[in-house]
């Protein structure tokens, strides 16, 4: 039942996606339409505006279609000649069938019937695709789109008619968005009058600079209210920024990161650098007075945060508005904020409606649950967060379970919010409880995929567990895939960890408070109760850390991210094989700048799943070349370390291996059959000798067909290209690729060379070739590469082979990061029609514009 709510709440990155044929309409109609939409405050996606340099353009477009609410498809005479446009259209029509999306066709100098039946000029444009496998789905999409209600523009260009049509389109989209906004507002129970009260203080029609405070207890709806106001008003300003969780982020990442966010958001410049808080203040005072901005600072708890992010009204241009949410009114008073609003809790009717939406997916309780619902709501005491959590907790449960929950609620004093929230925790399975505690104590602001690796390393079914926690409203995944929890839920979870022994942190299962960690390690107070420990952001003595771990025999997670580097005062230190210790229970071990040359001899590592020791001084895993099998190790990252040798035969279940920048690595032992589970191997920046050896043995290694392999020369170590289904071979070499002759595997292979000559035919087995930094390419024998489906020519390519048009299997030709490239001759029928999908794509990532396909 709760799922119905989440579908209503779907948010979109863009209001409108524009699909069009560039050569027909980009310079006139589409540009004018785009500008008109932007002037109306409508976020429109147009590929040459939105795609940033270096993005995978095709994938970016498909994702942007999913992220758009409305589609405007500008059909022109040559629209159907572009496989790119037709693929866009197929994706649009797939999304349009969902209730969240709406598509509008614009028939630009073509008749709807020409699109519907692929006749006339449209039919001529589509004829080149008629034999392709994709022709069927393209025809179906054209027919479906032509049957939609839209607009016609005959005999363009006609400035008057075109202007009228653009006005109609903008008006239609604006009305639809306004209707959508009203739907979104409906789920914000009780927000209308609260928004109205604050809007009266904001006074958008006045030219002064105003700071408005919103205060209230945790979980009372301050952030929700501020977000609703921000979304409603942001288009009335030159720039806008919503800075979430100021208190948390300032403590973990620093105030300069938040200063950078504000500057980047309001100035539309992601390249702004902020070296320190002082520099950030100076930059804000210099740059912000040029723009009328709306800034929301959410969850302020200290005056220094306001001083760094909104030091004074004269930082901002007249008409700017700064909205501040906090639990502490004194912070607002101390900063001179005069306009302060208190967030009132929900009344009975509002609370019941909100609860019903999370418990039943509707505005009122279902039959038989009304009295039970009213009793539950009473214990929530009007707190929106508590109501939401209780509703999610009880959703789908029978009346007996509701009554059991009510009995527990009756034992909790009213307004004891944390105890009420804990009901959802108590109902979790044991493994999910452990995952929840790991998230609130250790994994806040972690990328979700990284968190999954950590949790799986510790033996949990992580993805399912995180999904359950989200369903229970205990955690959320942000738009940028970061995990987070509400402050009150974080407080509740950490209280569970600390409350049994509040004055004895060495008996807590998880340690994350720096002062406590430092004391426990220094005084050797570790116990078997400790499961997870985080040593972060302090200059620690590595010897003390190692000795302090000796009694933590059940430790499964260790994160040491200290300020240790080559300039460290500790210098080179050797392992004391007697007193220094890693618990054998460790499953996840992260230690950047690990200063020892080996792991402790007593460490068996037989439970270790993830090992990350970037920029470490380790030269071998165990002193003297001792061999220990790491049967459970799946993820290994030793990038930029001093590692000299690695025996992969001892790590049979390895899935991801990163040895990027290991310049001292001279031996990588990999006997036949030892890499069967490997899916990613990165050797960027390793010795050329090692790279060549590996390439010559590729066929005998029996690697999976989807392996990602990076062998990057030093000069290309910063260049990174990934493909989920490609084997990448990168090297800086003038050697001809003779070691690839007779390659049997049906892999996609990417090759980087300084120079390619006639021996390129040795690559005839390959499905994909990527060529980088070749000033001169081969100009003969290209026809031998008949299996090639993809060619990517990147960096400084100035000449395209003349006979490239004869590659009958070619589906994609990409010209990326290239300053000057002549348009290749792919007009020959064999280059277009013989391809299975005719998916010829020409892109130039340097200027973010497609060369031929639009």
pLDDT of residue 414: 55
Contacts of 66 (CB under 8 A, 6+ apart): 91, 95
- Residue 189's φ and ψ, nearest 5 degrees, are -60, 130
Of 708, 597, 601, 610, the residue nearest 644 (C-alpha): 597
pLDDT of residue 785: 64
598 to 489, 618, 637: CA distances (angstroms): 41, 5, 15
pLDDT of residue 591: 93
What class, spelled out in words, does domain 500-643 have in CATH?
A: alpha beta
The reply to whether 3-184 and 191-342 are identical in fold is yes
pLDDT grade, residue 758 (50/70/90)? very low
CATH number at 348-419? 1.10.8
pLDDT grade, residue 577 (50/70/90)? low
pLDDT, tens only, 130-176: 767 778 888 899 999 998 888 998 877 665 678 888 888 887 786 67
What class, spelled out in words, does domain 3-184 have in CATH?
A: alpha beta
pLDDT of residue 793: 60
pLDDT, tens only, 449-474: 889 988 998 889 999 899 888 877 78
Residue 657 CB-half CA count within 13 A: 25
pLDDT, tens only, 663-714: 888 888 877 667 778 877 777 677 655 544 554 444 444 444 444 444 433 3
pLDDT of residue 824: 47
- Name the token pair of 79: 């629209």
Helices (H), 697-819: none
pLDDT of residue 385: 84
Of 312, 311, 337, the residue nearest 323 (C-alpha): 337
pLDDT over threshold 80, residue 245:
yes
pLDDT, tens only, 266-320: 887 777 888 899 999 999 999 999 999 999 999 998 999 999 999 999 999 999 9
Ranges assigned E (strand) in 158-315: 210-215, 239-243, 293-300
What average pLDDT is seen over the chain? 76
| DSSP 3-state of 36 | helix
Compute the residue count for the chain: 854
- Residue 437's φ and ψ, nearest 5 degrees, are -65, -35
Average pLDDT over residues 804-815: 68
| DSSP 3-state of 228 | helix
Q: At what angle do helices 370-380 and 384-394 cross, to 10 degrees?
A: 140
pLDDT of residue 117: 87
pLDDT over threshold 80, residue 559:
yes
Of 72-86, 103-117, 304-318, highest mean pLDDT: 304-318
pLDDT over threshold 80, residue 552:
yes
pLDDT over threshold 80, residue 338:
yes
Catalytic residue ranges: 88
Is 73 exposed, middle or buried, given 0-12, 13-18 or 19+ CB atoms closer than 10 A?
buried
Match domain 191-342 to its CATH number in 3.90.1150.10, 3.40.50.300, 3.40.630.30, 2.60.40.10.
3.40.50.300
- Name the token pair of 173: 């989209």
Domain boundaries, the chain: 3-184, 191-342, 348-419, 430-487, 500-643
Contacts of 398 (CB under 8 A, 6+ apart): none
pLDDT over threshold 60, residue 397:
yes
- With a pLDDT cut of 90, the percent of the chain lying above it is 25
pLDDT grade, residue 835 (50/70/90)? very low
Average pLDDT over residues 737-742: 36
pLDDT grade, residue 241 (50/70/90)? very high
Look at 85 and 13; give whichever has higher pLDDT: 85
pLDDT over threshold 50, residue 259:
yes
pLDDT of residue 286: 93
Of 174-178, 624-628, 781-785, 847-851, highest mean pLDDT: 624-628
Look at 415 and 525; give whichever has higher pLDDT: 525
pLDDT of residue 751: 40
Of 657, 643, 646, the residue nearest 703 (C-alpha): 657
pLDDT of residue 109: 87
């Amino acid at each position: 039942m709760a799922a119905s709510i989440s579908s209503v709440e779907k948010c979109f990155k863009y209001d409108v996606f524009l699909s069009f044929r560039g050569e027909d309409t980009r310079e006139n109609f589409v540009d004018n339409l785009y500008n008109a939409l932007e002037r109306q405050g409508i976020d429109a996606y147009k590929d040459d505006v939105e795609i940033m340099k270096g993005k995978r353009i095709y994938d970016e477009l498909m994702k942007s279609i999913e992220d758009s609410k409305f589609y405007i498809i500008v059909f022109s005479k040559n629209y159907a000649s572009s496989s790119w446009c037709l693929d866009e259209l197929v994706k649009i029509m797939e999304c349009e069938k969902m209730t969240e999306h709406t598509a509008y066709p614009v028939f630009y100098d073509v008749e709807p019937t020409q699109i519907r039946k692929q006749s006339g000029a449209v039919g001529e444009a589509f004829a080149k695709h008629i034999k392709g496998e994709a022709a069927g789905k393209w025809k179906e999409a054209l027919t479906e789109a032509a049957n939609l209600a839209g607009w016609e523009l005959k005999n363009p260009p006609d400035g008057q008619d075109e202007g009228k049509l653009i006005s109609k389109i903008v008006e239609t989209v604006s009305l639809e968005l306004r209707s959508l906004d009203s739907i979104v507002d409906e789920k914000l129970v009780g927000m209308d009058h609260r928004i109205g009260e604050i809007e009266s203080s904001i006074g958008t029609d006045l030219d002064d600079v105003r700071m408005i405070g919103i205060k209230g207890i945790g979980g009372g709806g301050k952030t929700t209210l501020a977000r609703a106001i921000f979304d409603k008003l942001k288009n009335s300003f030159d720039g806008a920024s919503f800075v979430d969780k100021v208190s948390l982020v300032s403590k973990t990442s620093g105030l300069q990161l938040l200063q950078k966010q504000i500057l980047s958001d309001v100035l539309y410049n992601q390249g702004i650098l902020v070296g320190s808080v002082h520099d950030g203040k100076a930059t804000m005072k210099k740059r912000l007075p040029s723009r009328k901005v709306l800034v929301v600072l959410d969850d302020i708890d200290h005056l220094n945060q306001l001083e760094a992010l909104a030091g004074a009204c004269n930082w901002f241009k007249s008409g700017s508005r700064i909205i501040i949410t906090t639990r502490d009114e004194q912070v607002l008073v101390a900063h001179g904020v005069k306009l302060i609003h208190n967030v009132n809790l929900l009344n009975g009717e509002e609370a019941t409606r909100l609860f019903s939406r999370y418990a039943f997916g509707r505005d009122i309780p279902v039959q038989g649950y009304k009295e039970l619902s009213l009793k539950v709501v009473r214990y929530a005491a009007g707190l929106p967060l508590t109501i939401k959590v209780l509703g999610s907790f009880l959703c789908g449960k029978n009346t007996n379970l509701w009554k059991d929950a009510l009995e527990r609620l009756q034992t909790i004093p009213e307004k004891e919010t944390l105890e009420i929230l804990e009901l959802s925790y108590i109902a979790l399975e044991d493994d999910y409880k452990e995952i929840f505690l790991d998230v609130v104590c250790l994994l806040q602001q972690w990328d979700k995929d990284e968190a999954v690796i950590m949790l799986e390393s510790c033996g949990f079914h992580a993805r399912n567990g995180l999904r359950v926690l989200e369903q229970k409203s205990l955690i959320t995944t942000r738009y940028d895939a970061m995990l987070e929890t509400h402050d009150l839920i974080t407080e509740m979870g950490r209280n569970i960890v600390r409350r049994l022994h509040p004055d004895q942190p060495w008996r807590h299962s998880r340690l994350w408070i720096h002062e406590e960690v430092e004391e426990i390690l220094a005084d050797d107070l570790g116990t078997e109760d400790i499961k997870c420990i985080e040593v972060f952001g302090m200059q620690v003595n590595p010897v003390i850390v190692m000795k302090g771990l000796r009694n933590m025999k059940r430790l499964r997670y260790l994160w040491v991210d200290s300020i240790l580097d080559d300039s460290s005062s500790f210098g080179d230190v050797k392992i004391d094989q007697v007193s220094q210790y890693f618990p054998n229970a460790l499953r996840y071990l992260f230690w950047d700048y690990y200063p020892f040359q080996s792991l402790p001899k007593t460490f068996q590592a037989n439970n270790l799943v993830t090992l990350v020791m970037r920029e470490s001084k380790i030269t071998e895993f165990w002193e003297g070349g001792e061999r220990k099998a790491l049967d459970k190790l799946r993820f290994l990252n030793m990038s930029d370390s001093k590692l000299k040798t690695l025996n992969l035969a001892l790590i049979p279940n390895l899935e991801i291996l990163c040895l990027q920048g290991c310049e001292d690595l001279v031996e990588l032992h990999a006997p036949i059959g030892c890499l069967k589970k490997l899916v990613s191997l990165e050797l960027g920046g390793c010795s050329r000798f090692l790279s060549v050896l590996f390439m010559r043995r590729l066929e005998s290694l029996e690697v999976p067909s989807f392996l990602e392999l990076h062998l990057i020369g030093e000069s290309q170590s910063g260049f990174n290209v990934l493909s989920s289904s490609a084997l990448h071979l990168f090297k800086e070499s003038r050697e001809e690729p003779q070691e690839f002759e007779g390659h049997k595997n049906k892999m996609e292979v990417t090759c980087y060379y300084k120079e390619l000559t006639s021996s390129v035919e040795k690559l005839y087995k390959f499905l994909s070739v990527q060529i980088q930094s070749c000033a001169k390419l081969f100009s003969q024998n290209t026809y031998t590469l008949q299996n090639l489906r993809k060619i990517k020519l990147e960096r400084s390519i100035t000449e395209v082979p003349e006979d490239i048009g004869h590659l009958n299997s070619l589906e994609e030709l990409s010209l990326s990061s290239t300053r000057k490239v002549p348009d290749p001759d792919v007009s020959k029928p064999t280059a277009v029609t013989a391809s299975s999908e005719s998916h010829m794509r020409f892109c130039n990532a340097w200027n973010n514009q497609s060369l031929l396909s639009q």
